[in-house]
Amino acid sequence: MIVSEIKLRVRYGETDQMGFVYYGNYPEYYEVGRTEALRTLGTSYKELEDNGIFMPVINMSIKYIKPGKYDDLLTIKTIINELPRTRMNFIYEIYNQQNEMINRGETTLIFLSKEKNKPIICPEWLNKIFKKSFQEI
Amino acid sequence: MIVSEIKLRVRYGETDQMGFVYYGNYPEYYEVGRTEALRTLGTSYKELEDNGIFMPVINMSIKYIKPGKYDDLLTIKTIINELPRTRMNFIYEIYNQQNEMINRGETTLIFLSKEKNKPIICPEWLNKIFKKSFQEI
Amino acid sequence: MIVSEIKLRVRYGETDQMGFVYYGNYPEYYEVGRTEALRTLGTSYKELEDNGIFMPVINMSIKYIKPGKYDDLLTIKTIINELPRTRMNFIYEIYNQQNEMINRGETTLIFLSKEKNKPIICPEWLNKIFKKSFQEI
Amino acid sequence: MIVSEIKLRVRYGETDQMGFVYYGNYPEYYEVGRTEALRTLGTSYKELEDNGIFMPVINMSIKYIKPGKYDDLLTIKTIINELPRTRMNFIYEIYNQQNEMINRGETTLIFLSKEKNKPIICPEWLNKIFKKSFQEI
């Protein structure tokens, strides 16, 4: 299991007139968490794209527990439970400054060949990087 | 069952460098669909807020089937299957110009009293409006 | 002079906790107006990109006059005053339902060759389309 | 003169299909810079709102110099040149990792009384905080 954490401050533009973080902004927070998780694994999503791989999301579920608020310094915890093959799963837990979990989500991503525009199995070079991180921990 | 439809053109700012609609923009599309569905029911979300009721989302799930693209004229189909009590469920189906379903989602919302900042049962006046629409169809 | 109009309903996610349209959302409204203006001219921004031309914005100025509000049905008026050469200027006026101008902006865009990644003069085929529209009106 | 700096990583959702940061996202970057500048001054925008003051933007101008790119670690430099009275001006300079200025903007904000919904002069308590910061530097 790999756990990566990153802090993120809620922007004014991310709130809505309810006074909370707009519910549609959490997927972007997950993306921030996912990006850092891949960096922790020794690669980056940018590097993946540079190597001809897109990773589109095919499934997402979100549980909104408590509201996020403007200027909150949130902690995005991203969890990878298993090595990917054709799919890669990420779990996200978002905590506020009182360390309360305010949001929990899951996404499933696939590996897409840019060139062929088709889903592929996680490439060997990438799998090696992931495996190394899993063994180290 | 109530079905409401609205068309929406994909904005440039809603795409990402993958060349598709960014996955985090679909919740906003659902909100557009939900807003029109409530209007179809004879009220509006604005009216609800003016009457002291917030309707925050507590659960969402999304299935990304095909990519949405810039300048696509999407059809957002919003489905209400049952009269709300403490919760209100919406189903969303998004179709592209070739009439292919590209995205499907579900959300659960609660009724929140602005004044008490607490969940409430769907108020009687609102329930009446909803009931009327369900009977008419 | 070419004037194009499109209506647009303010989304909940576009408001902020001040209860107004977030100031950062107006550029996207301008983009919606610009897209329709180009369609009025007999082409579309999508077609331009399909023909290897990007049109990035290099300058923008905005005057915020009155707040936009949730569920407002705004009118985006887009004005093109002159045929483009190396630059193309757009003026935007946004009106609310009371026909009050709530926002006014201007943008300057250039023509960028996708292939060469360099600014170019407005291509002849595009210029012809624009000229035709200017003459008709 | 007060200068405040904050780093910010470009999110995937902030890019568009041109492969660059969408031009409409820079105002949100400015807001992030402004928020930190106010914190540097010994207050925070949140505190201002908690004290009944909104600070809406009434004017903005942006010069787009070079594209921002996904995963870039940008530096937002926010400059306050003068003590506010009825208006407060901010200048923003955005630098990429190669220390190239990619974007430059200016905004003018007013002080709005929440209670009266009217523009006011910068309150004395706030002016004192600002003055102190200007003198220290």
Domain ranges of chain B: 2-129
Give the separation between CA B56 and CA A23, rounded to whole angstroms: 8
pLDDT, averaged across chain B: 95
Residues of A in contact with C13 (CB under 8 A): 16, 22, 24-25
Residue D101's Cβ-count burial label (10 Å; 0-12, 13-18, 19+) is middle
pLDDT, averaged across chain A: 95
CA distance B82 to chain A (A): 21
B85 in contact with A, Cβ within 8 Å: no
Cβ-defined contact of D15 to B17 (cutoff 8 Å): yes
Residues of A in contact with B59 (CB under 8 A): 61-64
- Full pLDDT tens readout for chain B, 137 residues: 899 999 999 999 999 999 999 999 999 999 999 999 999 888 999 999 999 999 999 999 999 999 999 999 999 999 999 989 999 999 999 999 999 999 999 999 999 999 999 999 999 999 998 888 888 76
Cβ neighbours of residue D119 closer than 8 Å, sequence gap 6 or more: D86, D110, D111, D112, D113
Using CA coordinates, name the residue in chain C closest to A71. Answer: C17
- ipTM comes to 0.95
> What pLDDT is stored for residue D128 in this prediction?
92
A17 in contact with C, Cβ within 8 Å: yes
B60 in contact with A, Cβ within 8 Å: yes
Cβ atoms within 10 A of the Cβ of C122, count?
18
Residues of A in contact with B49 (CB under 8 A): 17
Percent of chain C with pLDDT over 70: 99
Provide the β-strand partners of residue D21: D15
| pTM, to two decimals | 0.96
Q: Which amino acid does the sequence have at A52?
A: G
Determine which of D20, D21, D49, D60 to mutate to test the interface with C (most C C-beta atoms within 10 Å).
Answer: D60
pLDDT tens-digit profile of C51-92?
A: 999 999 999 999 999 999 999 999 999 999 998 999 999 999
Q: What tokens were used for B118?
A: 């607490």
C50 is catalytic: no
- B15 close to A12: Cβ distance less than 8 angstroms: no
Cβ atoms within 10 A of the Cβ of B12, count?
22
More confident residue, D99 or C133: D99
CA angle, A55 as apex, A51 and A58 as ends, to 5°?
A: 165
> What pLDDT is stored for residue D108 in this prediction?
98
D134 falls in which pLDDT band (50, 70, 90)?
confident
Alpha helices for C59-112 (secondary structure H): none
CA distance A83 to chain D (A): 23
pLDDT of A137 > 80? The answer is no
Taken in order A52, A56, A58, A62, the sign of the CA dihedral is positive
Question: Across the A/B interface, how many CB contacts are shorter than 8 Å?
Answer: 55
According to the 3-state scheme, what is the secondary structure of chain A?
CEEEEEEEECCHHHECCCCCECHHHHHHHHHHHHHHHHHHCCCCHHHHHHCCEECCEEEEEEEECCCCCCCCEEEEEEEECCCCCCEEEEEEEEECCCCCEEEEEEEEEEEEECCCCEEECCCHHHHHHHHHHHHHC
Catalytic residue selected from C16, C50, C71, C72: C16
Cβ-defined contact of C31 to B46 (cutoff 8 Å): no
Give, rounded to a whole angstrom, the gap between the first and last alpha carbons of chain C.
8
pLDDT, averaged across chain C: 95
Q: Residues, chain A, total?
A: 137
Pick among 3.40.50.620, 3.50.50.60, 3.10.129.10, 3.40.640.10: CATH of A2-136: 3.10.129.10
More confident residue, C30 or D136: C30
Pick among 3.10.129.10, 1.10.472.10, 3.40.50.20, 3.40.50.300: CATH of B2-129: 3.10.129.10
C42 falls in which pLDDT band (50, 70, 90)?
confident
Cβ-defined contact of B15 to D13 (cutoff 8 Å): no
Give the separation between CA C113 and CA C55, rounded to whole angstroms: 9
Q: What tokens were used for B120?
A: 């409430």
